[in-house]
Chains A and B, each alone.
Chain A
Amino acid sequence: MTNLNAIYINGLGNLSPQKTTDSSHFLDEVNRVQSNRLACIEPNYRDFISPDILRRMGRLIKMGVASSRICLADAGCVMPDAIITGTGLGCLEDTEKFLTTLIRNNEELLTPTSFIQSTHNTVSAQIALLLKCHNYNFTYVHRGWSFESALLDAMIQLRNGKASKVLAGGMDELTNGSFEISRRLGLWRMKPADTFELLKTTARGSIAGEGSAFFLLSSAQSDTTYAVLTGMNTFNRKASPVSLPRLLSDFLERSGTGPEEIDLAVCGLNGDTSSARPYKELTGSLNNAGIAAWKHLSGEYMTSSAFGLWMASMIMKKQQVPEAAVIRPPGAKTIKTILIYNHYLDLNHSFILIRKP
């Protein structure tokens, strides 16, 4: 039965460092590497984009367009009522290309292509252009809240009836330049880390990653429904001395859920010792829940919570937590409620709650 206020996740499209584009597989064969950075396994983009367009397209745009196409096909949706993206750093490859040429050529002999593609809204605009979709189109660019802002906007539009099908996604790309620059800030492990060891070892830094994940959110349940998106909240802990369990119970209360109902907590654990504390604080209060993690599979990036929501949606539909993602197996026979908890550098925190339809 379709609940009037419910929001359904009816389609997924995820391009990541794992084999995630084919929904018949679910992390059953993990791409295990020894590295401090992970790159997306890219599909043959010609399956999604015509060659003449493809030739000039920047990499993040290709990733975004391909994953959005997978998502729309998965949901059987031809034309969404809104396209909403979130990206922390946008089209870095094109930005670096234009900036580097500008510096090297001392502002001479510049061609506009990489400038045109450098704006953060290029992904959502290109998706719209290829679909000829004239509907609402939006891009959020707020670090670890970029994808969450896109979700929030989608939820508002679905709840107030402005839209019934929203294509929402989060994407970021890693370039050599951005890896090197963020390495200087101490974000990444000094030594290569093994995919299966990252979360077990204690050291400073995580591993860098990238990805693009889309969701078709709808006000109506369908035969492709994965989960019900029940709630989402962003919070800034610097501004609030309130404990995480307390923040969680406030959040759950608004969704009409008790903490004991959470069967699985999907956490953004990333192998960085200093980032682990909030996750421990939260999971310590969820004794009945299983725990799963995703960043050893996706790497850390500003919109990686989109990978987290993808994984949680797949777990809900398949009723199975992939071995590679399990930290503590869930006790419940049926997984009915999943909490996704993520934070980016302890600055941008978010809760997302999904339920079994």
Chain B
Amino acid sequence: MPSRIFVTGLGFISGLGNNVQENLDSLLDLRSFIGPVRHIDTSLKHELAVSEVSLTNDELMRDAGLSAKSAYSRNALLGIIAAKEAFLHARLDKHTGLNTGLISGTTVGGMDECEKYYQDFLTNDSKNRFIETYDCADSTEKIADHLGLKGFITTISTACSSAANAIGFASRMMRAGKLDCAVAGGTESLTRFHLNGFNALKILDKLPCRPFDATRNGINLGEGAAYLVLETEETNQKTGNPVLCELVGYGNACEAFHQTASSPDGAGAYLAMKKALDMSGETPDAIDYINAHGTGTDNNDLSEGRAIEKLFTGKIPYVSSTKPFTGHMTSAAGSAEAIISILGLQQGIIWPNMNFLTPMPELKFQPAGEIIRGVDIKLVMSNSFGFGGNDSTLIFKKHGIH
């Protein structure tokens, strides 16, 4: 019998706040901080609406207690702040002797520094210390060093499903008996590189994004980091940590349709949700809430919406995309939305799909338009889909129910 996987720690930094509590407060107050770019020197500054973490790199360094002697990308700084919060939440600093892994998802890595200094990298030695912050593994290594994690660490890059896959892989490592517990999630800072990339794809909205709305017109990019602490049931007996919820389902599929677009019928999204549901042993009607990938693009929301309709043939659960709150946190979106889903599960709250006004004519269901309180939520599903058709779904269950 493979071990059960419990969530015992959360850490979260985004445009909504610098820790889990601040994020929760903003969600409860229905506040979004989507607006013009402030921290990056880009010519798109006033053209795009984004969600940025309010702190500057210097402020992040100060809050993390880091010395300016070492080079840190914003990606690593965000990752350190969120992973440390989760680590301390689960009191992993006190529980020594555990075989703890760190599995992190990211895609742009240290591109924020690289794009500033690329010419220097090529032509002089003045910024050499930032060369080593470029690759995706750098933020993971820095987080591990900061937390004193000396066991297994790795980095996953499956574009916008990276963090969901990090959580999924961590749970499989634990079920295979290779780890007692894990810090798993993802980090991604905004960069000129991917702001311009998404802009060239013409899928960014200049207005606040409107997922699942007939007038939707694209993505607002966001940034931040989010990490969960996962423990096996046996480890949890040792730590005695309060169980926040249980990870009961994980599905990974490749749509194999197009490098960036989703298929009109949502075959990949359907497969990912179906696999996660099969693993959880639950029936579709047991799912109370779906935190949709819901980017606000024409393509994703139609594809995902149809996949939801195909899988949930009876009653469709509450559905919302929380990207109007956080922006699309790309590689960190999977773990950020996992945490938002878990917070809803704990508080009995269905998060609203903000900015929704006009139903999509192609879909039979509508997303939750308003915040709904006092709901008895047992099972939540969180979707994350990425370039390359890398689609993943996580399912969390309230602890202590059968």
Tell me the A residues contacting B by CB distance below 8 Å. Answer: 83, 88-90, 98-100, 102-103, 106-108, 110-112, 115-122, 124-126, 128-129, 131-143, 145-146, 149, 152-153, 156-157, 159-160, 177, 180-182, 184-185, 234, 236, 239-240, 347
Contact = CB atoms under 8 A, between A and B. Distances in A.
B118 A103 contact: yes
Contacts of A240: 150
Contact of B154 (A108, A115, A129, A140): A140
Contacts of A129: 256-259, 388-389
Contacts of A133: 254, 256
Nearest to A96: B118
Contacts of B259: 116-117, 122, 125-126, 129
Contacts of A116: 197, 201, 259-260, 387
A142 B389 contact: no
Interface stretch (B128-136, B207-215, B362-370): B128-136
Task: List the 6 closest A-B pairs by CB distance, nearest first.
Answer: A125-B388, A115-B197, A239-B150, A137-B254, A112-B200, A141-B136
A142 B136 contact: yes
B157 interface: yes
Interface stretch (B27-35, B59-67, B167-175): B167-175
Interface stretch (B49-57, B89-97, B119-127, B225-233): B119-127
A160 B155 CA distance: 22
Give the one of B43, B197, B201, B256 with max A CB within 10 A.
Answer: B256
Contact of B271 (A98, A134, A140, A182): A134
Give the one of A98, A106, A138, A145 with max B CB within 10 A.
Answer: A138
Nearest to B135: A89
Contact of A125 (B107, B175, B200, B254): B254
A125 B389 contact: yes
Given A117-B259, A156-B173, A184-B121, A90 B157 contact: yes
A17 B146 CA distance: 39
B115 A128 contact: no
A98 B114 CA distance: 13
B80 to A, nearest CB: 17
B252 A141 contact: no
Nearest to A345: B132
16 contacts: A107-B42, A107-B192, A118-B197, A121-B388, A124-B388, A126-B388, A129-B257, A129-B259, A134-B254, A134-B255, A138-B169, A141-B157, A156-B173, A156-B176, A181-B121, A181-B122
Give the one of B44, B197, B201 with max A CB within 10 A.
Answer: B197
Contacts of A128: 254, 256, 388-389
A12 B115 CA distance: 37
A315 to B, nearest CB: 28
Given A99-B118, A103-B115, A134-B271, A140 B256 contact: no
Contact of B119 (A102, A103, A110): A103
Nearest to A122: B388
Contact of B128 (A102, A152, A160, A184): A184
A160 B2 CA distance: 10
B253 A119 contact: no
Contacts of B172: 153, 156-157, 160
B71 to A, nearest CB: 13
A142 B122 contact: no
Give the one of B157, B201, B255 with max A CB within 10 A.
Answer: B157
Nearest to A144: B137
Given A115-B201, A140-B154, A184-B131, A134 B390 contact: no
Contacts of A136: 252-254
Given A102-B192, A102-B196, A135 B154 contact: no
B388 A106 contact: no
Contacts of A159: 176
B256 A131 contact: yes
A102 B268 CA distance: 32
Main secondary structure of the interface of A (DSSP, over half): mixed
Given A181-B122, A234-B152, A138 B252 contact: yes
B135 A141 contact: yes
B137 A132 contact: no
Nearest to A302: B135
B152 A120 contact: no
A118 B134 CA distance: 14
A143 B137 contact: yes
B178 interface: yes
Contacts of B387: 116, 119, 121-122, 125
A83 B155 CA distance: 17
A184 B124 CA distance: 8
A103 B122 CA distance: 13
Contacts of B8: none
Nearest to A180: B122
Nearest to A239: B150
A239 B148 CA distance: 9
A157 B106 CA distance: 23
B153 interface: yes
B386 interface: yes
B253 A137 contact: yes
A153 B201 CA distance: 33
Contacts of A132: 256
Contacts of A99: 111, 114-115, 118, 193
B131 A125 contact: no
Interface in B36-53: 42-44
Given A126-B259, A149-B154, A160 B176 contact: yes
B74 to A, nearest CB: 17
A121 B43 contact: no
A128 B271 CA distance: 15
Give the one of B115, B150, B388 with max A CB within 10 A.
Answer: B388
A132 B254 CA distance: 9
A110 B197 CA distance: 8
Interface string B267-282: 1100100000000000
Contact of B175 (A117, A126, A160, A234): A160
A102 B390 contact: no
Contacts of A107: 42-44, 192, 196
B126 to A, nearest CB: 10
Contacts of B42: 107
B158 interface: yes
B59 to A, nearest CB: 26
B343 interface: no
Nearest to B386: A121
Given A128-B256, A137-B389, A139-B390, 15 more contacts: A103-B115, A107-B192, A108-B43, A110-B200, A119-B159, A121-B386, A122-B387, A125-B390, A129-B259, A138-B252, A142-B154, A153-B169, A177-B122, A184-B121, A184-B125
A125 B254 CA distance: 7
B156 A134 contact: no
